[in-house]
Structure 1
Amino acid sequence: MADDQERTPLLRDPEAEDDYSEPQEEQPSFLDRVGAVVQEPLTDLSKVLLVVCLIFLLLSSVFIGLFAGTQQKLNKERGRNDTSPVITATMTATYVPGPSTIVTTTTASAPGPTQPPEEAQCLTPECIMLSASILSSLDTSQDPCENFYEFANNGWLDAHPLPADKGSFGTFEELARKNQHVIQKILESNSTSLNTHAQSYDEQILKKIRGMYDSCMDESGLDKIGLKPLSDFVAQLKKVYNKGSTDSRVPSEKLGLTAALALLHSRGVNALFDFSIDGDVGVDPNNMVLWFSQAGLGLPSKEYYGEKSIMKAYRSTVEQLLFTLLEAEEKESSEKPEAAVIMPEPNTEFAVNDDTKDNVWPPWPWPPWGDDDDGHGDDGDDSKKNSSEIAHKLAKKVLKFERKLAKISLDLDLLYGDPIGTYNPAPISNLTEGLPQVDFPAYFSSFAPRAFPDRVIITYPAYIEALCELLKSTSPQVIEAYLVVRAAHELSPYLGLGTDAWKAQRSLQETLSGLKKGAVGDRKEYCVHQVEETLGFAAGRYFVNEVFGGDSREKGTKVITDIVKAFQDSLGKVDWMDAPSAIAAAEKAEAIRVKVGYPLSPNTEEPASIASWYRAVNIDEDGFFGNVLSSRANDQIHQWLQLGKQRDMDAWEMYPSMVNAYFNPPANEIVFPAGILQPPFFSHDWPSYLAYGAFGHVAAHELTHAFDSSGRLYNQEGKLEQWWTNETSAGFDRKQECIVKQYAEYTIDDGKGGKVHVNGNLTSGENIGDTGLVQAYRAWTAQYTDSFQAGNEYLLPGLNFSREQLFFIAFARSWARAMTPAAAVQRIRTDPHSPNMWRVQGTVFNIPEFAEAFKCPKNSTLNPPMEKRCIFWS
């Protein structure tokens, strides 16, 4: 019957079947039924169902509690003060025998507005670890509105004490170390290829990078050969410097200096001047021409030559290098006198011992001159002096020469930040006639350029004249000693750690960077870095294969292009930029080439391309020292082969594993290696608010460089040109002056009880680049709705911060860095970037959205009055 069928359970207990077969005269009450159930033994199925019911009740209670607690926290965080009645939820559960049924009812104590449902949090192991890494970096005892850098980074800094062997260590270096571990596994593995169709090319590449690594790791072999690689190179350097002595009995200064400079420069050793090949930004930025500039110095910057303590340490290093090489030369001369070349006869300039019987050059003791400042006098018989005395006096002369070089050099803020002032095209005769001590045609021929240059761009014309006068007033022997010191200083790091030359240059680095005396880092880390430095495109092929798969390139590129779009949209609202200039700026932004991941020249995806790029690198012929020189020579070959050609649009200046990025004004391109597209800067599966905050700032920084103090002077084709109106240029100059003054007020401790101010002029371009963070913020908010709907704005567990706050936290975390005071001072003097603390503090100081996100009180440090802010992109 119909009624009987409706009561029939879906699941029945066979033992209770008879209870329903006979009608009963009186129905038992509810309590009777409950009592009967209680007294009745439970079946196995009933027990299971009862356990399920209890679990369900427990879970329901937990979720209700979590919801109520979280909602209360959210209300506090959002500053809500509403008086809505508290809703108390009551859940009752009834167990019905027979069918397994749970009946639940929920009642509210009082009606009220419906609260938004709590958003689900990502609870995967990856999300939990990401959340933990963020929490561990914070110091919530700090007020983010006063010291956001320490709020975001003190936890990380406490957990990462500065290694004794380093003057600086931060998130960039930590990521570089992680990238190096990836490469290290490749270098130490036994695999021979990537199973490609071009296996033989991969075998060639792997053999070279592993050969470089193995030669670096062979510490016992390096200690065994000792100083010999360097002393052999110095002997070759001195030989070419003194070439021509067989004809005139006196060294041909012009020929010798030319040959010596060509030898040093071909191995990447900087001395006297520097040549580079780059676009002619005044005519055709893609036409690669010759650029002439001043040389680097033995010390990091000009200021160090005025510090007595530093000069004392530097003189000690120079003296030790010269003494060590003198000792090696004396030993070599005594063992192989027949290998020496003919020495010049005595004259009024050279105080040679007349009793010297061996017809060799240089005579011993070397060098044969006195202690006068210009090298043209003599205060005694040097043949009676030992190597220590000679090195002592010679070091003094070399330092005096370098001090004069520093004095005639252009200040770094002008060299780096004035592209118009440093663009001085001239016929090559200006160089050949202005510096007659160098035979430039012979110099160029040693690099075998495809086309002999007839035009050169000189960054600082006054340097040529000043260098010419300096060389005239300095004896050839002091110049030779200077060249020897430059070679020894730059190449001694590739010797064994037990050599006196290695120890001498290391001692200087300890002084300059504040390193712990005698502290040496992990050798494997050093050797992997050397592989990157010398064969970076080769190692990058395998690095990219390991870490840069999936959609990393596409998602990274999207962040960049979103920021470009946000930047273009903001230009019409910039108060110092008129409409014509805004249109031109938008066109330049549109024309910027975006390169992400790895280069196509050499082509990371094609092993044949990489093998060809490094074909001139010979591994294991002369051990680690020789391998490094070979790779440096290969770099110079590629540079000079560009002369007279059109720019290779696929070429990169950085290798794929590098943790860095750059904007190249003549090429109008921004470049982001795969090495920086890793946590804590980027991950393809991060929520967007983190990706746009961390990597987005890197991308916006490089984009903004196209419109900073120097980048703005290049048009969309990379040509130096006035493409803004005069009114807009004047408005920019006012904003730039504001930035210069802002950062010039920031200081660091010098470690000696004093303060050193940031160089606002030197750092203005990078500081303006950092203002691009607001463009990354706008790009993130613009894509937020679509991103949220796509599930890319998911929340992380345990983070009691809004998405807006986490955006800024992600930005600040990427700049954590510990430094010694000495290294910080060195950076102030040489680095166009501000110290990391001020890159964070100074940037958010100028972004009102930051103060809004953290609800900063008015006039707190990072929520100043608008008139005190330097807002570029309003």
Structure 2
Amino acid sequence: MQRSYSPSSRRQDQGVCTTDVCKSYAELLLASRATNYTDIDPCTDFATYTCGNWGASHPIRADQSSVDVFSAVSDANTALLISILESPYPTNTTINSTYAGGDATVLDKQNFDKMVTAYDSCMDVDAINEAGAKPLQDILDAYDAFSGLVSGNSTTDLTDRLIWVLRYGGKFNAQARTSASYGFVQATPWVDDENPNITTVALGPGLFGLRSQEYYEDAEATANYTTAIVGMLDVLLPEEDHDTHVSLASGILTLEKALIAAAPNSLDLSDPSDYYNPFSIADADALLPEISFSRLIKAFAPSNYTINSVVVFSPEYFTQVSSILQNTTSEILDAYLEWVLIQTWATRLSDDVSAPYRRFKNELSGLDPDAVSDRSTICLSDIDSNLPWIETAFFIRSAFSPDAKTLGERIITDIRTVFEAKLANYTWMSAEVKTEAIQKVVNMIEKIGYPDISPNIEDPKAVADFYATLNVSASSWFQNGIAYNNFTLARTWDSLLNPTDKYYWVMTGPEVNADYIAPTNDLTFPAGIMQSPFFTLDLPDWANYGAFGAVAGHEVTHAFDNLGSQFDATGAYRNWWDNATLAIFEEKAQCFVEQFSNYTITAPNGTLLHVDGELTLSENIADTGGLSAAYAAWQARESETPNQLLPGLEDYTTEQLFYIAYGNAWCGSSLPAEALRLLYADPHAPGDIRISGTVSNQVGFREAFNCPSKVPACELW
């Protein structure tokens, strides 16, 4: 049912916006709303009230395991980018460049041509099919020759073999908070949490094929995984018999089960109180005698870099790995390292060769095992991962105006201002903690739309210089993958010699996402998310503040969630909370743990599984605090300039519409298997729970919809 709203709270002079932009947005909200919305109490099920009919116009494609507003916006961005890539160089573009050594347009076209060459190499399915399994077979043969496996036994020590595999099968990112590489050991440059102005080296586990421990305890998942390993070994190593591959796959699975049981969970890897363990390099070497970390680091670090100390994510893990390795045969260990290489490169092979691996990945997410994504989408994703700044330069010219950046800056500034005021008014915080917290908001670095430094993507020369050492082949998509890997590896490890670049983006311009990074205390809002329905010029403020503003507030609040709060105003990991204030903080945070742990989803087998309130705590705090800050920021704007209503939505107040805009931005649905996978590993609560749980924590929402209780379920910021 739709509750009555006090007429005194509605301004009579608001009027209705009837522009095409307003009509289109109104149609979107109305089409998403449940058809039986009058029978639904928004106070108890706002997700269904707002999004009940969204799925009717957004079916899950055969190649998708889920669909939501984020993926819908991403699809629109993808379509635009594919159009750019498959069209001639846009000669009518205006270039803003500081390049003084010649014609900037020449460099801009060279950048464009490099991107198109990379894209075309991926789209050349005939060449990929002709290459077949050979590109990866060549890598496996090279590994065998290096390790001595050609003679039947490994004659090279484990450290050298691991270095070889990481060089050809590792994916490095200097500022990513988790590794993207498979393997039992990862080493990567890492912004030092206690001294964020420098970059150190972090040691920890890599990714595992089944990703989370729960799947290694699932008979169906492990059977599918084993089938994939055997299938890929049969295709890539046909000279070996099938029974040998079955035995090796069983050994790999046993090894991975032991490794992931010893590994820290995703929550431990996100909490600095768990993962930040500084060690001297000598002490780190002693944790795992089978591997020389000092030699491993020297193999990748610049020759003039001195290794003094490292961060060990989990000392206990490496101690257990030592025992695991001692009980693993050399044959299984080498097969495992080859499997690491296969997982890294399988997706760059022809569809028939990679079929066993693709089927497994599809099954894990509940897709049709034979589902294949559109080729142009695959190739665009490859560009996004490996040539992001060329891609971003051309994307923003078509999809992001100076006016959009100005509006985005205004919304983010408003929310930071509100957050500072909220902090100043809290009575439960001590004066010292309050001062540090306010300074942290003041110090935040804003990255809005696209990079204008490191590199400045508006300057063709800056972009060309960034990719100067990267050579792209027109004839081999696989070799381009190796070139990208070598390029990223070198740039990442070179960061050890320089002060932390706090202005480097870890997201691409077209990406539909946002981020807060604690050690650099920076907020990132790519142009990709600043698109409809999150963000639209010429809409009433309630729409932009309710959708994009909540995203902006979410990222600001991350600085003060259970994880971000452990970093001070300079981005350094230290305890800046007195005991009394911290105790109240933890009590308020515990409310969120209990609240979200009571929510459930239905597993594919019909059982009810509870949301992990501990795993999702940081995101739930950010959702609640972010929406509260966005609402306060919008109210301040609306008090100056009353917002208009929209056609077909005149029965709502602008306060109600603010929350409807918020809910609509999080509409979505997932296949049951994908929902289960996310429940195990995703720090975000399921989408419908994020909507209903978050608004239940808002005084403004409860007042707007005249809920029986005006007291939020949980509240921190």
> Under TM normalisation by the shorter chain, which class is it?
over 0.9
CA distance in 2, matches of 1:780, 1:182: 31
The answer to whether 1:632 aligns with 2:485 is yes
Q: How does 1:670-681 map to 2 (within 5 A)?
A: 670-681=523-534
CA distance in 1, matches of 2:212, 2:308: 32
Structure 1 residue corresponding to 2:26, chosen from 116, 131, 136: 131
Instruction: Please state how far the C-alpha of 1:264 moved relative to its aligned partner.
Output: 2.3
Structure 1 counterpart SS, 2:203? strand
Q: Which amino acid aligns with 2:197?
A: N
Moved more, 681-690 or 184-193: 184-193
Deviations 1:544-580 (CA, angstroms, capped at 9, x unpaired) = 1111113111110111111111111112443532333
Q: Which amino acid aligns with 2:344?
A: E
Q: How does 1:505-516 map to 2 (within 5 A)?
A: 505-516=357-368
Structure 1 residue corresponding to 2:688, chosen from 815, 833, 837: 837
The answer to whether 1:169 aligns with 2:67 is yes
**Structure 2 residue aligned with 1:748:** 601
CA distance in 1, matches of 2:210, 2:403: 44
TM-score under structure 1 normalisation? 0.76
Structure 2 residue corresponding to 1:794, chosen from 644, 649, 673: 644
Deviations 1:785-828 (CA, angstroms, capped at 9, x unpaired) = 3333xxxx233222131111110011111111110111011101
Q: Which amino acid aligns with 1:745?
A: N
Q: Which amino acid aligns with 1:811?
A: Y
Deviations 1:585-617 (CA, angstroms, capped at 9, x unpaired) = 111111111111111212111112222222333
**Structure 2 residue aligned with 1:669:** 522
Matched residues, percent identical? 32
Deviations 1:321-346 (CA, angstroms, capped at 9, x unpaired) = 1121221xx3xxxxxxxxxxxxxxxx
Structure 1 counterpart SS, 2:355? helix
CA distance in 1, matches of 2:479, 2:620: 41
Change (3 A) 1:796 1:80: closer
**Structure 1 residue aligned with 2:504:** 651
CA distance in 2, matches of 1:127, 1:444: 56
Change (3 A) 1:195 1:530: same
Q: How does 1:725-874 map to 2 (within 5 A)?
A: 725-772=578-625, 773-788=627-642, 793-800=643-650, 801-856=652-707, 858=708, 863=709, 866=711, 869-873=713-717
Deviations 1:286-308 (CA, angstroms, capped at 9, x unpaired) = 11111111111111201111111
CA distance in 2, matches of 1:180, 1:319: 35
CA distance in 2, matches of 1:668, 1:152: 34
Q: How does 1:109-508 map to 2 (within 5 A)?
A: 119-139=14-34, 140-141=37-38, 142-191=40-89, 194=93, 196=95, 197-242=103-148, 250-265=155-170, 269-282=181-194, 284-327=195-238, 330=239, 365=240, 387-416=241-270, 418-449=271-302, 450-499=304-353, 502-508=354-360
Q: How many residues align?
A: 693
Unaligned runs of 5+ in 1: 1-73, 82-114, 331-364, 366-386
Change (3 A) 1:188 1:244: closer
Contact 2:545 2:630 in 1 (8 A): yes
CA distance in 1, matches of 2:89, 2:265: 50
Q: How does 1:688-707 map to 2 (within 5 A)?
A: 688-707=541-560
Structure 1 counterpart SS, 2:170? helix
Contact 1:321 1:504 in 2 (8 A): yes
Contact 2:405 2:448 in 1 (8 A): yes
Deviations 1:698-723 (CA, angstroms, capped at 9, x unpaired) = 00000000000010010000111221
Structure 1 counterpart SS, 2:204? strand
Instruction: Please state how far the C-alpha of 1:831 moved relative to its aligned partner.
Output: 0.8
Q: Which amino acid aligns with 1:178?
A: A
Contact 1:258 1:438 in 2 (8 A): no
Instruction: Please state how far the C-alpha of 1:260 moved relative to its aligned partner.
Output: 3.1
Contact 1:243 1:251 in 2 (8 A): no
Instruction: Please state how far the C-alpha of 1:242 moved relative to its aligned partner.
Output: 2.6
Contact 2:416 2:441 in 1 (8 A): yes
Q: Which has the higher contact order (CA 8 A, sep 6+)?
A: 2
Structure 2 residue corresponding to 1:584, chosen from 419, 433, 436: 436
CA distance in 1, matches of 2:572, 2:498: 17
Q: Which amino acid aligns with 1:261?
A: L
Contact 1:242 1:256 in 2 (8 A): no
Contact 1:584 1:724 in 2 (8 A): no
Contact 1:688 1:787 in 2 (8 A): no
Q: Which amino acid aligns with 1:272?
A: F
Unaligned runs of 5+ in 2: 96-102, 173-179
Structure 2 counterpart SS, 1:452? coil
**Structure 2 residue aligned with 1:601:** 454
Structure 1 residue corresponding to 2:561, chosen from 681, 684, 708: 708
Let me know the Cα RMSD of the aligned residues: 2.3
TM-score under structure 2 normalisation? 0.92
CA distance in 1, matches of 2:166, 2:15: 66
CA distance in 2, matches of 1:723, 1:396: 49
Change (3 A) 1:163 1:587: same
Instruction: Please state how far the C-alpha of 1:243 moved relative to its aligned partner.
Output: 8.2
**Structure 2 residue aligned with 1:527:** 379
Deviations 1:220-258 (CA, angstroms, capped at 9, x unpaired) = 222222111111122222222338989x99444443343
Instruction: Please state how far the C-alpha of 1:192 moved relative to its aligned partner.
Output: 6.1
Change (3 A) 1:316 1:243: closer
